[in-house]
Structure 1
Amino acid sequence: MSVTTQADPVRAAQDTAPNAVAITGLGACSPGGIGVPALWEALSRGESHRPHITEFDVAGATVRCAGRVPGHAVEVNGWRVLDLAETAVRESIAGMDGSLLERTALVLGTTDPGVVPPRAGHLAGDLAAACAERVGLGGEAITVASASAAGATAIGVARDLIASGAASAVVAGGADAVTDMAFLGLNSLRTLGPEGCKPFSSQRRGIGLSEGAAVLRLEPLDVSRGGSESPKAVLAGCGLTNATGHLAAPGSDGIELSVRLALADAGLVPEDIDFVNTHGPGTRRGDDAEIAALRAVFGSRLGSIPINSVKGVLWHLQGGAGSVEALACVLSLAHQTITPTWGAEPVDPSYSDLDLVVGTTPRPVRGLRTAVTISCGLGGMNTALVIRRPL
């Protein structure tokens, strides 16, 4: 484990990252449970809710179950993704002053905004606007649809709103429900694996689909420091790329560029990074492309940087994947602990030189300060975020 040794690395990074913003609130619902504490417990214990699919026909599918949010009755309608988003957003804004809520913007990513039906005052697919109305947020509402990178991309868009002065607070993240179109479409592409996500394992055979939502509340650093609530973390840098080459076959170049852009945006170099949370879908092409990108960025030092993926527990939250992984980084920094990549063993021999956090026991890491999390979407959409401990 490599730890930055400069006198005050967090302050130094913030001084060279003029667009850094504070993460002041968190919200989540996932197959691990409802609420942020349940998410951390699930990632630590490797437990999640994956019942059999009954609401549509999965006969002949590679896998017949999916990750579900416990406590939310399974429904076959377009409002489910809105219900999940609302659950996460409400947790993230708990305790906020009403006057601030009226000025808070909402940016939500999802893979298929068209599943949200139209209603009075809203167009079909306007997930963010419909959710903002439900929870009482009065600022700008933006829906992002960039495949599996959507949740992380939404966080990047929100950061820019704060940094530009266009918003004083933004709630951002992603949400998705399990639908017949998504499930059966991925099954037809042979993307689903019989055992779900097994990131980096020599036995991986595809992904498992799941649902949920995760959001971060972002505010300017100076405002959060002067308020009653201390920042939970700092979003220091973002890098977004669209390296479209093939719809379903990922390439490493776009992933590499997104990480380099995020580091530059944060005013950091590869030596400043303490751990990497990967997209880690558990597909051979996906895992290989991501590791190749990381090798290009970090070189020989990659072998000393802890690497994990949360998909072994949660499976693939689709548009919510990137935001739940960003939230997991915030929790790892807060707990000074990296949760294991469940299902990774036996590890693919081509990764034997890497420090993959595997097994069934979370790894405490003293001095854990800076993380990179990566999200990748079909069509070459990639987002990397740099997240740091607060001062």
Structure 2
Amino acid sequence: MSTVRGGVAVTGLGVCSPGGVGVAALWEALATGRAHRPAVTAFATDGATLGAAGRVPGHTGGDGVRRALDLAGTAVREALDGVDDTGRVALVLGTTDPGAVPPRPGHFAGDLAAACAERTGLGGEAVTVANASASGAAAIAVARDLVAAGDAPAAVAGGADAVTDLAFLGLNSLRTLGPEGCRPFSSRRRGIGLSEGAAVLRLEPLDGPGAAAPLAVLAGCGLTNATDHLAAPRAEGIERAVRLALADAGLAPEDVDFVNTHGPGTRRGDTAEIAALRAVFGPRLSSVPVNSVKGVLWHLQGGAGAVEAVTCVLSLVHRAVTPTWGAEPVDPCCDGLDLVLEDRPRPLPDLRTALSVSCGLGGMNTALVFRRA
């Protein structure tokens, strides 16, 4: 993607996840390791490796494919809190299922962003991105370019997905679901657990007139598509995305204080990602805190990269990083790494720069670099 130096301001956040509705609920869930992951009742899971899924507690609304739109609307409204004029604000949403919104007169099936913009009063561009599990992060990168280039005065960007029978049973047939859900970097990991949710960032120019005080700065983005197998990620592709994001931000690996990984809890995925990070950071990686939130939230599909971007911003705001729950016993591929294995957030008063990595089927990789405002 094009290089646009200087970054954009993150001025708002919105989340609904298995940790609860709202940004505060997300941080509490990540700090305590507690989330809502009940048994699946919307469809039969007989014979499946896993019978539970992450759900947003207390969130009413539709089910199945319509629920993604409900979840997205909830997150967008939180991110827009305090914004009066939304007539030119763009919306970019990622999803693993571009047909998530049933057709309506004058609309096509894949218009999640357009339908959500209509619900929430956003009148700017509406773009739906479908880059597998990297969709939410890729949507943030697209929105960054819109704002930085002056094509939108502000944008809301992220991802949303619901747990559907197609996604759940399809992943089960691929033997991707694990009996314990996500256990990132654990030697006992056996696959993922699926979740629903939505997360978005509000982006504005750093020097824009009337812009809200920034929570953080989105300093750089890198996207790659590199694999020789649909479901087997390549470390080289992940490494290149990270290097592109750092170059876009004008930073070196030595400038990164914290890495939030994709960390799904699959053997191929975890191993490739750690190999990529070792290639970028070299021996210094052992002194950089590295975590994954999927041990708590499980895998939010198209919303995964977005909720992890929100996590990076919150870490910069709180000057702390949350634990990697479920990682012990740690796999040998992570020997010497600091996976933040405490049972509470770790204070990092000098935390200034955070890197978030997202990976999707087909080798779709996205890296985002955030720095403290």
Deviation at 1:55, TM superposition (A): 1.0
Deviation at 1:107, TM superposition (A): 0.1
Which residue matches 1:243?
226
- 1:105 aligned onto 2:90: yes
Which residue matches 1:305?
288
Ranges in structure 2 where 5+ consecutive residues have no aligned partner? none
Instruction: For 1:74 and 1:20, locate their aligned partners in 2 and report how far apart those are by CA, in whole Å.
Output: 36
Instruction: For 2:12 and 2:169, locate their aligned partners in 1 and report how far apart those are by CA, in whole Å.
Output: 35
Q: Which amino acid is the alignment partner of residue 83 of structure 1?
A: D
Deviation at 1:77, TM superposition (A): 3.8
Which residue matches 1:260?
243
Question: Residues 324-345 of structure 1: CA distance to partner in whole angstroms, max 9, x if unpaired?
Answer: 0000000001001100000011
Instruction: For 1:66 and 1:199, locate their aligned partners in 2 and report how far apart those are by CA, in whole Å.
Output: 17
- 1:191 aligned onto 2:176: yes
Conserved? CA contact 1:31–1:49, under 8 Å: yes
Give the alignment's Cα RMSD to 1 decimal: 1.2
In structure 2, do the counterparts of structure 1 residues 347 and 88 end up closer, same or farther at CA, with 3 Å as the change threshold? same
Instruction: For 1:228 and 1:284, locate their aligned partners in 2 and report how far apart those are by CA, in whole Å.
Output: 43
- 1:38 aligned onto 2:25: yes
Counting only pairs closer than 5 Å after superposition, residues 1-391 of structure 1 correspond to structure 2 as 18-73=5-60, 75-98=62-85, 101-223=86-208, 227=210, 229-390=212-373
Deviation at 1:78, TM superposition (A): 2.4
Ranges in structure 1 where 5+ consecutive residues have no aligned partner? 1-15
Question: Residues 152-200 of structure 1: CA distance to partner in whole angstroms, max 9, x if unpaired?
Answer: 0000000010111110100000000000000011101111000000001
Instruction: For 1:384 and 1:302, locate their aligned partners in 2 and report how far apart those are by CA, in whole Å.
Output: 17
Identical counterparts, % of pairs = 74
Deviation at 1:92, TM superposition (A): 0.3
Q: Which moved more, 1:235-244 or 1:74-83?
A: 74-83
Q: Which amino acid is the alignment partner of residue 29 of structure 1?
A: C
Deviation at 1:352, TM superposition (A): 2.1
What TM-score do the two structures reach when normalised by structure 2? 0.97
Instruction: For 1:313 and 1:186, locate their aligned partners in 2 and report how far apart those are by CA, in whole Å.
Output: 19
Conserved? CA contact 1:17–1:267, under 8 Å: no
Which residue matches 1:3?
none
The count of corresponding residues between Structure 1 and Structure 2 is 371
Report SS of the residue matched to 1:25. Answer: strand
Conserved? CA contact 2:56–2:196, under 8 Å: yes
Instruction: For 1:38 and 1:119, locate their aligned partners in 2 and report how far apart those are by CA, in whole Å.
Output: 34
Q: Which amino acid is the alignment partner of residue 157 of structure 1?
A: V
Report SS of the residue matched to 2:265. Answer: coil
Runs ≥4 residues deviating over 4 A: none
Instruction: For 1:256 and 1:115, locate their aligned partners in 2 and report how far apart those are by CA, in whole Å.
Output: 31
